[in-house]
Amino acid sequence: MWDEWNAKTPAAQVHEALIADGVLVERLESITDHQRDQFRFSMGPMDLDFAGFVGLRLNEQALHTWDVEVTLDPAATLPREVAGADSIELSSSEADDHVDLEIPAESFVRLVYGRLDPSHTPSVVGDHHLDELRRNFPGF
């Protein structure tokens, strides 16, 4: 599949990707409420309902759009609504524990996707080991 895709010209890739996205949007919009209730999509350890699947696809689209934008403009950032909430917490520690790392949502997304390079690293709060974290999140 990837050999076929990679053999296409860049213009053909853009054209065909836009057509495929349009077809997907049309199909998603045509799904009935009953079909949405019955919808399940499994991928690895994830078992998604309709909303979860659409959210996953939107997330993928937003990050790939940013991938293109950042190649043309290294200062391009993820829009706030794409990066996520103002803050998140991924911890089961006790409430009085110290903060291990505090970074903006966009930086967290960059970290998880292997794109938190030194030139995009913000000031951080807490005991952090960014080099170790970067090794654990090398990207896809």
Contact criterion met (CB below 8 Å) for 110 and 82: no
Residue 137 CB-half CA count within 13 A: 16
pLDDT in tens, 46-98: 899 999 999 889 888 888 888 888 888 878 888 777 777 665 556 566 656 66
| Residues β-bridged to residue 50 | none
Q: Residue 75 gets which letter from DSSP?
A: T
Closest by alpha carbon to 139, among 63, 31, 35? 63
What predicted TM-score, i.e. pTM, was given to this entire model?
Answer: 0.64
pLDDT in tens, 98-114: 667 778 888 888 888 88
How large is the greatest C-alpha to C-alpha distance in the chain, in angstroms?
56
